[in-house]
């Protein structure tokens, strides 16, 4: 059994980005802008992109849905994780290589990036929970005050 100690570079993947909203032209523009942002990402090269025409949603009147298929090549696995958290694709598929090798340092970078982002999301969730509690308390006070005036 041979062990390759060097990390895998040049990973190709396809991401599916979805958009929902109105008007339909806005969806195409939003997806185009998202792809432009991905093209600016360090360590990421957009190889191919296809934006599908918006279609009317079945269950919601006046709302449209569209998606883009974006093929990228990234320098390392960490860049895939960053794309996932930053752009929240509906689907991602690694095309090549079949086997991805990471050193301990590569795993550390990946896990630390994931942890950093998860802590950021947790912080936002906690702030929203506190703000919600404050708003609920104020609403109860206003309702009590209104009842008292009747």
Q: What is the DSSP string of 73-112?
A: EESSHHHHHHHHHHH--SEEEEEE-SS----HHHHHHHHH
- Give the N- to C-terminal CA distance of the chain in Å, as an integer: 83
- Are 51 and 68 spatial neighbours (Cβ–Cβ below 8 Å)? yes
pLDDT in tens, 59-84: 877 899 999 999 999 999 999 999 99
pLDDT of residue 5: 58
104-149 and 77-87 helices, crossing angle to 10°: 10
Check if the beta carbon of residue 35 is closer than 8 Å to that of residue 47: no
Each residue's pLDDT tens digit, 13-44: 999 999 999 999 999 999 999 999 999 999 99
Question: Structure pTM?
Answer: 0.75
| CATH class assigned to 11-100 | alpha beta
Q: Compute the distance between CA of residue 135 and CA of residue 131 in angstroms, rounded to an integer.
A: 6
């Amino acid at each position: 059994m041979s062990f390759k100690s060097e990390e895998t570079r040049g990973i190709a993947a396809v991401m599916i980005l979805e958009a929902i909203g109105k008007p339909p032209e806005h969806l195409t523009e939003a997806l185009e802008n998202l792809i432009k942002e991905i093209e600016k990402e360090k360590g990421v090269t957009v190889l191919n992109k296809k934006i599908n025409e918006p279609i009317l949603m079945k269950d919601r009147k006046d709302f449209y849905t569209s998606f883009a298929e974006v093929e990228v090549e990234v320098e390392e696995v960490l860049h895939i994780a960053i794309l996932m958290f930053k752009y929240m694709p509906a689907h991602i598929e690694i095309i090549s290589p079949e086997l991805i090798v990471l050193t301990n340092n590569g795993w550390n970078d990946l896990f630390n990036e994931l942890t950093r982002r998860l802590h950021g999301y947790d912080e936002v969730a906690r702030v929203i929970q506190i703000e919600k509690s404050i708003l609920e308390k104020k609403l109860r006070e206003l309702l009590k005050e209104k009842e008292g005036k009747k």
